[in-house]
Amino acid sequence: MKKCISLLLAFALLLTLALPAAAEENPANEPTPIVYLRGNSEHLYDADGNEVIADVGDLKLGGTGGPDSGKIVEAVVNILKPFLTEGLLFDRWDNYGQAIYDEISPLFATAILDENGDPRYGSGISPEIQAQSEQIAATEQIQNGRYGFYSYGFRFDWRLDPYVHVDRLHTFIKTVLQATGKKQVSLASRCLGGSLMTAYLEKYGGEGLVKNAMYCETLGNGCTMISKGFSGQIDFDAANIQRYYGQVTFCEEIGRGFGIDIPVIADEVVQKTLDLMVQNGQMDRFCGRMETLAGRLYKALIPALFFAVGYGTQPIYWTFVAEEDFDRALNVMFGEEGSEKRTQYAGLIEKILYYRAHVTSQRNALYRKFSEDYGIHMGVIAKYGLLNVPILAGNDELSDSLASLKDASLGATCAKIDTTLPQDYIEQQTAAGFGEYISADNQVDLSTAMFPETTWVIKNIHHDDFEEACRPLAELFLNGTDVTVDNSGYARFRVNDYAAGTITPMTAENCGALAYMTRPLPMPTFQTRLQALIDWFRVIGKLIAALFKGELQM
């Protein structure tokens, strides 16, 4: 018996002595190779090598490369015919939906996937680019003690089912480890790449190859606009339509997202007309009529639009649908169980439901598993200060124009865009020791997020702004060991200032909203109605004068 105990003690002693040696071979603070999963900015090409329009954001109406004005007018007429002659008169909308699809889908024909969610016409990312990205060498040098964010970018066709890519990504990661001599990589994802990162960790995260993982402004944790759009949840909001018009002109100025470039006088006319409509109640009546109409035609309109631009056929967009909206979205987009369309798209639906079962229905449990069971250090960068689309439910959520903050932050408690969290809630959270997690504008409580110690939020910044706003922090987090808000040097809440070109810690003094977000006028009174009417006549006079002087061409 004593011999057994002696042998056990000797073995334990040898094991203890071996541990420091192993730690010396792989120091905890060594920089980690970063594997980056980007969003839909990867360009797509047809079988002949021609770049194709892959996203609504790529479509430029008019100008070089866009459809000519004659074709646009013809398309509008072809869409309006069934709308007026069949829809409004007889409440028959099927032909209207078909007309929308027939006129819009040719613009995105190569990007639309087939009934199984697979590419058509040989479309995909450039084979040369994919091959180059997989020729991994140990020559990717560490600079200033860190791996760069773009050292090892994994290139993939973002339209497809994320599970199509996970095995190849696994091989890619092993190749990176072999080339660098490291034991682990760090994963970073942006936008659509978050869906692939979650799918990969769900399948392979338990193998211990991932040290850190960061979701950067990702849609992979849900996207209100797609979820409510696919499920046909229409909500016209008068004030947010005003704001959104300001947003698209603002986005044109900063060169981000969806913007419209129109002459200053025309912009004034639109703004003052919207103001007048709000003040005399016409805007609310307009929104009410549009909601009533949408309630009659959304089952024809919604599938036609989303299938025409390809989104409905692309499994990646289905990964953004919230679990509570999923069944309704399937019914809106494909019809009820047993429908002809469900049979036609059975292959695509199978992929959609697989991701739902493995990820969507258990997202929070997966994030906990990644962190607690797999030991992966999880981080999040999220944004807000802009609007979602103002004609869909959820248009009053804090957002970066695409990702709602509650989704991108993995569960922060958020106020609506023009309100703050209730004062009694703030007092209760502060008394409970959570005051540091509440933003200076009292709109966000990060204590309820999945990873509050490793979640950073930036206000007043667009989804597309990444390089200066997010990359340095992401590199620090992904190269490090147990980087948190407290030891990162980056404030939990920061504010972007486009005019100054700075991003600074949020304070009570700098946390105000972007100018156009405060555009909606106050509750109507006799004085505000009169002023809106005077302003409208004044700007119409300026418009007429500009036309007579030849300063504006119609």
**pLDDT digit string (tens) for the chain, length 554 residues:** 333 334 333 333 333 333 333 322 334 467 899 999 988 778 888 888 888 776 665 554 433 344 444 555 566 666 666 665 666 666 666 677 787 888 888 888 888 999 999 998 888 888 887 777 777 765 556 777 788 888 899 999 999 999 999 999 999 999 999 988 899 999 999 999 999 999 999 999 999 999 999 999 988 888 999 999 999 999 988 888 888 888 888 888 888 876 666 667 777 777 778 887 888 888 888 788 778 877 777 888 889 889 988 999 999 999 999 999 999 999 999 999 999 999 999 999 999 999 999 999 999 999 999 999 999 999 999 999 999 999 899 999 999 999 999 999 999 999 999 899 999 999 999 999 999 999 999 999 999 999 999 999 999 999 999 999 999 999 999 998 999 999 999 999 999 999 999 999 999 999 999 988 886 666 778 888 888 788 778 877 777 777 777 666 54
**How crowded is residue 513: how many other Cβ atoms within 10 Å of its Cβ?**
18
The pLDDT score that the predictor gives to residue 23 is 28
Which tokens sit at 484?
């948190």
Q: Where does 485-554 show beta strands of DSSP type E?
A: 493-497, 502-505
The pLDDT score that the predictor gives to residue 11 is 32
CB proximity list for 119: less than 8 A, separation 6 or greater: 113, 157, 159, 160
**C-beta of residue 326 within 8 angstroms of C-beta of residue 357:** no
The pLDDT score that the predictor gives to residue 269 is 73
The pLDDT score that the predictor gives to residue 92 is 67
Q: What is the pLDDT of residues 212-264, one digit of tens each?
A: 999 999 888 889 999 999 999 999 888 888 888 888 888 888 888 766 666 67
Give residue 222's Cα distance to chain centre: 8
The pLDDT score that the predictor gives to residue 16 is 33
The pLDDT score that the predictor gives to residue 521 is 62
The pLDDT score that the predictor gives to residue 7 is 36
SS3 277: helix
**C-beta of residue 547 within 8 angstroms of C-beta of residue 540:** no
SS3 366: helix
Q: Phi and psi at residue 548, in whole multiples of 5°?
A: -65, -35
The pLDDT score that the predictor gives to residue 454 is 98
Strand pairing of 185-190 and 34-37? parallel
SS3 136: coil
5/393 Cα distance (integer angstroms): 68
The pLDDT score that the predictor gives to residue 522 is 64
**79-117 core/surface letters (b: 16 or more CB in 10 A; e: else):** beebbeebbeeeeebebbbebbbebbbebbebbbbeeeb
CB proximity list for 515: less than 8 A, separation 6 or greater: 246
* pTM, full prediction: 0.86
The pLDDT score that the predictor gives to residue 69 is 46
The pLDDT score that the predictor gives to residue 386 is 94
Q: What is the pLDDT of residues 104-140, one digit of tens each?
A: 888 888 889 999 999 988 888 888 877 777 777 655 5
Give residue 497's Cα distance to chain centre: 21
Angle at 109 between CA 107 and CA 111, to 5 degrees: 105
Q: How many residues comprise the chain?
A: 554
The pLDDT score that the predictor gives to residue 22 is 30
9/67 Cα distance (integer angstroms): 80
Nearest CA to 270 out of 294, 249, 251 is that of 249
**C-beta of residue 400 within 8 angstroms of C-beta of residue 386:** yes
Angle between helical axes of 264-279 and 282-308 (0-180°, round to 10): 120
**Residues paired with residue 132 on neighbouring β-strands, in sequence order:** none
